Chains A and B, each alone.
Chain A
Amino acid sequence: MPLELHEETANLVGVVTVDEVEQLVGWLRTAKRPRVALRRCNHLHTGALQALLLFRPKISSAPADAFLAAQVLPLLAGGGGPAKPGSESP
């Protein structure tokens, strides 16, 4: 099961596919102070990434996966990412 959802924390495990996106978004909508652990996540579907970018939950653990750690984590950590000019424009 790629999603282990608890009240305030979520564990993303393995490959998060498009099928899990709806559930993840549902959880992000309801959780008050969401924290997401990516340590065991191998791949995030674009939809899941988009949801994380929108809801900006706190990332409680960095992914072990090299691609996610190098390219995706900086976007989620908030600020400092290369997307900055885009995300902060009016």
Chain B
Amino acid sequence: MNPLLAQFLAEANDLLAQVDEGLLQLERDPGDPELVNEVFRAAHTFKGSSGLFDFPELTRLTHAAEDLLDAVRGGRLALDSGMTDDLLASFDLIRGWLAHVTTHERLPSGAGSDAAGLITRLRAPLGGEAAPSAPSAAGPAVLVDTAPDWLAYLDAEWLTETAGWLSTTGSTLRFLWYTPDTDCFFRAEDPLHLIRQLPALDRLSVVQPGTWPAVQEYDEYTCMLSFLVVTRASLGELNHLFRYVTDQIEIVELDADAITRHLSGEPPLRAEEVMTVAVTPVIDTEMAADARSVLHAAHRALTMDGVVTEGTRIRSVRHAVAAAARSLGVPVDLGAAGPAELLTAIDLLAGEAAPAPVAIAPVPAAPPRAEERVESRADDPGGQVGTRVLKVDQEKVDRLMELVGELNVAKNGLTFLAASAEEEFGSRALSRRIKDQYAGLHRIAEELQSAVMDVRMLPLSVAFSRFPRLVRDLSRRLGKNIELVTEGGDTMADKDVIEALGDPLVHLVRNSLDHGIETPDERSLRGKSHTARLTLTAVADGDAVIVEVSDDGRGVDPDRVKHKAYEKGLISEEELETLSDVDAVDLVFRPGFSTADQVSDLSGRGVGMDAVRASVEKLGGAVTMRSKLGQGTSTRLRLPLSMAVTQVMVVSVAGQRFGIPVDLVVETVKVPAGGMGRVLHQDVVMMRGEVVPVIDLARALDMPWSLPETADRPILVVSVNGQRVGLLVEQFHREVDVILKPMEGLLAYADEFSGTALLGDGLVLLVLNMKEVLGLAARVA
């Protein structure tokens, strides 16, 4: 299943529950604006997300529900139990649909007709709308509607002929009234093209606005036309073709009788009808609201003494009432009505416009059959929507992780217990049994840990998801053509890693867009394709995840970088001469370095790359950059899969134990005292033909201690920033998995430690931040 749809279904379940609960509470406490708001928001979210998928019925039904709730929220309507029933029925129906979607990935086939009845009922309290007269595909009986006013746009001669033919053959014709939204061109709709696709088109009439705007003011992107189509195509075909514009069409099925009745009935309103319908294609609910206010005003005018007398005044009132009546779909004949008759008409019409709908003859009413069917559907328990997803507060997972850490610590305590059982109490058998217990506990703890870690895992696509938009916006601003390719979005990594990855990635992508990728002109000069390619790749690599940002832009010029760095005093003259190209590229990570000659608002303030390196290293990762001049740059971030558990190597210095991240450790060696050399003021050791500087960790940490002259020197070789350094320590211990806690409070300033961890024997282990320790050692020396 499409991941977006899966997510929608999971969310939908929550939203549905929220709506249900909210509606039920509302019924008990109708006045609570906060509750209404909550339900409205849920419905609104629902509608919004449903629009992403090809479920037009779902969107329409939620839209209707949203409109009703909006009216309630705005205080224009009081929620009664009838409306609540309709709303609940709607959301039950939706639940049924979504259960169907979960298994079949599409709506049930009867969705359109099921929804139609409900939509009409939901719309009814709003003054009703000329709802798409509910198509009933069910049942052999052909539904014949009464002729609507707009039939007047067809010429009478043709209608008479057609009526004759229909009565001879006992058949019906479908009449479609289509008023496209004025802004439909912007949605890539082409009404004429839609009509063109209609099979068996019999007659097309294009209704033009009564008054065209002046040529200078004519907006060619506003659709001002309406269409009247007569077709022999079946209702099913019509509904299918016009499924995306159902709110803009009206379909009636007429037989000879209906047409004849229309022809014989005198149509005095037609001339003005053209004005109201064709010139202002307004949304019906708005029209109904307008009609209500017009009627209200007319009523006031008539009841106020002396305001309305015979003559022009009453004519204008009569005109207003007639127009309101038409917009409500209840044309009345007010030929020469006096004030009294007008008042009666207004009362009648007000009833029509009021929340309680009164079915009056010519309103194309929805067939009751559809409603009954909906009722029976709504009673279904409604299956399972979406997969079973449990939403858990992040803090609870973090707490669980912490507890796993504590369990690990407690578990490690058993090994010490086993040792003391043997040493202190002399019971080897007990020691072995404790060790057995430990093994079992260890296995469970490991599994528990990986299960909790698994909960925290997210796909990298989460981190990548913001880039399509970012790249699009930036590339437009910069006038560059860029194609973004993401690969390996399903690689999983810990939530913390993914979150922390966000900023560095944005820096890198911006840098690529701004500095790396050339303008289209420059690209074509160099014989590259116009469209540049920016690739985001993620791959899992054992305990780490590698994220690479690469572009096929101009690449980094090592000479330029070197000169720039020299100008800024970041490297010495010697280095300028001797630095290799690879090392030169690495200079961009130095603090205060920026090659851009101009500072742009995107990047180029010289804070980018060193910030990237710093934040990635803080996560326990590494950044490297490779670049080929003229061919592109790729920056590779290597991050631990999880930051929750760190493997450290424990060593002791001057009687105190310290942890060093295992990632950094290259090897441990014991060098005879005579094997140590000294170059300038630096102790060194020769290893496989390589000179490795050795730092006395005790001196660096300011802990007075020295080894006996003759003893072997235990040296831990670590690799920091690609350089090997030996650390002189007192003793090696084992490797342990620890949960690293950052330094807090009074010790927060101590940069030389990256955090503390609790060991199994209750000892607090300080874990060293090797980069800082090396800096410290350099200062001490």
Q: A85 → chain B, closest Cβ, in Å? A: 6
Taking a contact as CB atoms closer than 8 A, the residue among B185, B215, B223, B275 that contacts A89 in the complex is B275
Enumerate the 9 nearest inter-chain pairs by beta-carbon distance, A residue then B residue, closest first: A89-B274, A25-B220, A82-B205, A86-B207, A46-B192, A71-B204, A46-B191, A87-B208, A89-B271
Q: List CB contacts (< 8 Å) of A50-84 with chain B.
A: 50-51, 53-55, 67, 71-72, 75, 81-84
Q: Considering the chains assembled together, what is the distance between the CA atoms of A28 and B170 in angstroms?
A: 48
Query: 14 extra interchain contacts, Cβ-Cβ under 8 A, other than A54-B212, A54-B218?
Result: A43-B193, A44-B192, A46-B185, A46-B191, A46-B223, A49-B192, A49-B206, A50-B223, A53-B225, A82-B154, A83-B206, A86-B208, A89-B274, A89-B275
User: Would you call B278 and A86 a contact (CB within 8 A)?
Assistant: yes
Chain B residues positioned under 8 Å from A21 (CB to CB): 185, 220-221
Q: List CB contacts (< 8 Å) of B210-224 with chain A.
A: 210, 212, 215, 218, 220-221, 223-224
* B188 CB–A CB distance under 8 Å: yes
Taking a contact as CB atoms closer than 8 A, the residue among A17, A25, A49 that contacts B218 in the complex is A25
Q: What 1/0 flags go to A6-45 for Cβ under 8 Å of B?
A: 0000000000011001101100010000000000000111
Q: A53 → chain B, closest Cβ, in Å? A: 6
Question: Which chain A residues have a beta carbon within 8 Å of chain B's beta carbons?
Answer: 17-18, 21-22, 24-25, 29, 43-47, 49-51, 53-55, 67, 71-72, 75, 81-87, 89-90
Q: Considering the chains assembled together, what is the distance between the CA atoms of A46 and B180 in angstroms?
A: 10
Q: Considering the chains assembled together, what is the distance between the CA atoms of A28 and B750 in angstroms?
A: 77
Q: What 1/0 flags go to B563-598 for Cβ under 8 Å of A?
A: 000000000000000000000000000000000000
Chain B minimum-CB-distance residue to A17: B190
Q: Considering the chains assembled together, what is the distance between the CA atoms of A82 and B155 in angstroms?
A: 6
Chain A minimum-CB-distance residue to B278: A86
* B158 CB–A CB distance under 8 Å: yes
Q: What 1/0 flags go to B190-202 for Cβ under 8 Å of A?
A: 1111001000010
Q: A25 → chain B, closest Cβ, in Å? A: 4
Interface of A is mostly: helix
User: Would you call A46 and B201 a contact (CB within 8 A)?
Assistant: no
Chain B residues positioned under 8 Å from A87 (CB to CB): 207-208
Q: A77 → chain B, closest Cβ, in Å? A: 13
Chain A minimum-CB-distance residue to B197: A67
Chain B residues positioned under 8 Å from A22 (CB to CB): 220-221
Taking a contact as CB atoms closer than 8 A, the residue among B220, B271, B274 that contacts A51 in the complex is B220
Chain B residues positioned under 8 Å from A67 (CB to CB): 196, 201
Chain A residues positioned under 8 Å from B180 (CB to CB): 46
User: Would you call B193 and A85 a contact (CB within 8 A)?
Assistant: no
Q: B647 → chain A, closest Cβ, in Å? A: 61
Chain A residues positioned under 8 Å from B274 (CB to CB): 85-86, 89
Taking a contact as CB atoms closer than 8 A, the residue among A18, A46, A49, A85 that contacts B153 in the complex is A85
User: Would you call A50 and B193 a contact (CB within 8 A)?
Assistant: no
Q: B184 → chain A, closest Cβ, in Å? A: 8
User: Would you call A75 and B206 a contact (CB within 8 A)?
Assistant: yes
User: Would you call B221 and A47 a contact (CB within 8 A)?
Assistant: yes
Chain A residues positioned under 8 Å from B193 (CB to CB): 43, 45-46
Q: Considering the chains assembled together, what is the distance between the CA atoms of A75 and B188 in angstroms?
A: 24
Given known pairs A82-B155, A86-B274, the reply for A53 and B208 (CB within 8 Å) is yes
Counting contact residues on chain B (CB < 8 A from A), the size range is 35 or more
Chain A minimum-CB-distance residue to B204: A71
Chain B residues positioned under 8 Å from A86 (CB to CB): 153, 205, 207-208, 210, 274, 278
Chain A residues positioned under 8 Å from B152 (CB to CB): 85
Chain A residues positioned under 8 Å from B678 (CB to CB): none
* B270 CB–A CB distance under 8 Å: yes
Q: Considering the chains assembled together, what is the distance between the CA atoms of A44 and B212 in angstroms?
A: 20
* B296 CB–A CB distance under 8 Å: no
Chain B minimum-CB-distance residue to A86: B207
User: Would you call A47 and B275 a contact (CB within 8 A)?
Assistant: no
Chain A minimum-CB-distance residue to B277: A86
Q: Considering the chains assembled together, what is the distance between the CA atoms of A85 and B274 in angstroms?
A: 8
* CB pairs A–B below 8 angstroms (24 shown): A18-B185, A21-B220, A25-B218, A43-B192, A43-B196, A45-B185, A45-B193, A46-B192, A47-B221, A53-B208, A53-B225, A71-B204, A75-B206, A81-B205, A82-B155, A82-B203, A82-B205, A83-B206, A85-B155, A86-B153, A86-B205, A86-B208, A86-B274, A90-B271
Q: What 1/0 flags go to B144-184 for Cβ under 8 Å of A?
A: 00000000111100100000000000000000000010000
Chain B residues positioned under 8 Å from A84 (CB to CB): 155
Q: Considering the chains assembled together, what is the distance between the CA atoms of A42 and B207 in angstroms?
A: 22
Q: Considering the chains assembled together, what is the distance between the CA atoms of A15 and B333 in angstroms?
A: 46
Chain B residues positioned under 8 Å from A44 (CB to CB): 192
Chain A residues positioned under 8 Å from B224 (CB to CB): 50
Chain A minimum-CB-distance residue to B156: A85
Q: Considering the chains assembled together, what is the distance between the CA atoms of A22 and B186 in angstroms?
A: 13
Q: Considering the chains assembled together, what is the distance between the CA atoms of A49 and B203 in angstroms?
A: 17
Q: List CB contacts (< 8 Å) of B329-381 with chain A.
A: none
Q: Considering the chains assembled together, what is the distance between the CA atoms of A25 and B225 in angstroms?
A: 16
Taking a contact as CB atoms closer than 8 A, the residue among B158, B205, B270, B275 that contacts A83 in the complex is B205
Q: List CB contacts (< 8 Å) of B707-758 with chain A.
A: none
Given known pairs A82-B154, A82-B205, the reply for A45 and B192 (CB within 8 Å) is yes
Chain B residues positioned under 8 Å from A51 (CB to CB): 220
Chain A minimum-CB-distance residue to B221: A47
Q: A20 → chain B, closest Cβ, in Å? A: 10
Chain A minimum-CB-distance residue to B230: A82
User: Would you call B220 and A47 a contact (CB within 8 A)?
Assistant: yes
Q: A22 → chain B, closest Cβ, in Å? A: 6
Chain A minimum-CB-distance residue to B220: A25
User: Would you call B218 and A89 a contact (CB within 8 A)?
Assistant: no
User: Would you call A49 and B225 a contact (CB within 8 A)?
Assistant: yes
Given known pairs A47-B220, A82-B205, the reply for A89 and B210 (CB within 8 Å) is yes
